[in-house]
Amino acid sequence: MNTESPLPLAGIRVLEFTHMVMGPTCGMILADLGAEVIKVEPPGGDKTRKLPGLGIGFFRSFNRNKKSVVLDITSDAGRETASELIGTCDVVLENFRPGLMKDLGLDYDTLVKQCPGLIYVSHKGFLPGPYEKRLALDEVVQMMGGLSYMTGPVGRPLRAGTSVNDIMGGMFGAIGVLAALRERDRTGKGQEIQSALFENCVFLSSQHMQQYLMTGEAPPPMPSRVSAWSVYDVFALADCEQLFIGAVSDKQFNTLCRVLERVDLLERPEYADNAARVAVRPQLLAELGTILAHHRIEELSSKLEAAGIPYAPISRPEQLVGDPHLKQSGGLVPMETDDGGTTDVVLLPLLMGGRRPGVRMPLPKIGEHNEEILASLKSSA
């Protein structure tokens, strides 16, 4: 990445009191865009560093380009140092349980008295309302917010296979910071921002809510959906491979039939146009399934790409580690880890002026930057 010109948020200082995924995602986005992000960890370090199982990759995935400071904010000395450090910052991020930061005297209403320009982001389960004191997890709000119902088959709600609300909640927190910085340029005043998992998930489900409001009919889960397109499904190919194919126009269906060397299908009146094909979709999919079962994925994929037909192999995360597009486009790059090793990390999915915001520093060790950050303060902890 070209580092000759400063990144957009260079000069912005962020203090991050976060753990797990939602808050760290917000901080990572700001850090990738050039902000100095200082992650406050408790004595012994953020417990997210040592999560097992599906959580093992959380810390490395969402905490790059940050500095680490250890403070015990449950102690008087730690809170005093944190408060003094906040006075040097533009933005504070937190994602603790409701009421904790207020109990510690580190909430927005307390801090704004000494820091009127402070931008303070709380990442919560719910925005203010009847649910606001509930504890929430990504899976909890997926169940409440319609996502699990729409993902699984009838009677079997399924959570999405990744922490979609935590990650998007962090994204909306970062969007709020960018808007608040712009507003502060005009007014000189900061503000409190709240980003919440439940409202985030409802936003993801909003198209289905609108579908109901427009039709009066409850939308079925996606596995039982009435598709708008006749060919828009996963097919089983030779050697037990699977391929998604989407022919979403009459032209694309025509092209698909030619790729499969089955132009005879174009002569069938029940397949005359998309509306006709949708009416007999189960029949069409069964017929295409029989045809596709004899095709090999590599050969068919190249033909579909050449013909301009949307298609996708069913990739697993471990396969993406070696994905040629991710590597050649600069979206998967090495990062030095806190134990001195290296790992490949996925960058933000955007280009800015032709450059990809990348990795600028190793993943921080626990408290690695205490001396650097706290040396200029009057107090220490």
Q: Give the pLDDT confidence score for residue 379 in this predicted structure.
A: 55
pLDDT at 24 over 60: yes
Are 154 and 33 in the same domain?
yes
pLDDT in tens, 94-145: 999 999 999 999 999 999 999 999 999 999 999 999 999 999 999 999 999 9
336 in any annotated domain: yes
327 in any annotated domain: yes
DSSP state of 224: G
303 in any annotated domain: yes
Instruction: Write out the residue range of the structural domain in which residue 355 sits.
Output: 13-204+323-374
Question: Helix (H) and strand (E) counts for the chain?
Answer: 17, 11
Q: In the listed set 294, 316, 338, which residue is the last one of a domain according to the structure?
A: 316
Are 90 and 42 in the same domain?
yes
* Band of residue 28 on the pLDDT scale cut at 50, 70, 90: very high
pLDDT at 91 over 70: yes
pLDDT at 84 over 80: yes
Are 160 and 307 in the same domain?
no
Q: Give the pLDDT confidence score for residue 2 in this predicted structure.
A: 44
- Which ranges of 205-280 does DSSP label H, i.e. alpha helix? 206-215, 250-259, 274-279
Task: Give me the chain's average pLDDT, please.
Answer: 96
Q: Give the pLDDT confidence score for residue 225 in this predicted structure.
A: 81
Q: Give the pLDDT confidence score for residue 227 in this predicted structure.
A: 85
pTM for this model (two decimals): 0.94
Are 103 and 126 in the same domain?
yes
For the chain, strand residue ranges (E) read 13-17, 36-41, 66-70, 91-94, 119-124, 191-196, 231-236, 242-247, 311-313, 332-336, 342-346
Domain of 26, CATH number, reads 3.40.50.10540
Domain of 238, CATH number, reads 3.30.1540.10
pLDDT at 372 over 90: yes
Q: 196: which residues sit within 8 A by CB, 6+ positions away?
A: 123, 124, 125, 126, 127, 169
Q: Give the pLDDT confidence score for residue 1 in this predicted structure.
A: 40
C-alpha to C-alpha distance for 143 and 234, rounded to whole angstroms = 25
91-94 and 13-17 beta bridge pairing: parallel
Are 150 and 276 in the same domain?
no
pLDDT in tens, 173-226: 999 999 999 999 999 999 999 999 999 999 999 999 999 999 999 999 999 887
pLDDT, average across residues 157-165 = 96
Are 42 and 114 in the same domain?
yes
215 in any annotated domain: no
pLDDT, average across residues 239-246 = 96
Are 145 and 64 in the same domain?
yes
Q: Would you give the distance in Å from CA 196 to the centre of its chain?
A: 14
**3-state secondary structure string, 35-97?**
CEEEEEECCCCCHHHHCCHHHCCHHHHHCCCEEEEECCCCCHHHHHHHHHHHCCCCEEEECCC
211 in any annotated domain: no
Are 295 and 181 in the same domain?
no
Whether the Cβ atoms of residue 191 and residue 109 lie closer than 8 Å to each other: no
Are 50 and 22 in the same domain?
yes
**Hey, which residues does 276 pair with through a beta bridge?**
none
Q: Give the pLDDT confidence score for residue 4 in this predicted structure.
A: 62
Count of structural domains, the chain: 2
Are 231 and 355 in the same domain?
no
Are 366 and 232 in the same domain?
no
66-70 and 91-94 beta bridge pairing: unpaired
Q: Give the pLDDT confidence score for residue 378 in this predicted structure.
A: 72
Main-chain dihedrals φ then ψ at residue 17, nearest 5 degrees: -105, 80
Q: In the listed set 316, 343, 359, which residue is the last one of a domain according to the structure?
A: 316
64 in any annotated domain: yes
DSSP state of 221: P
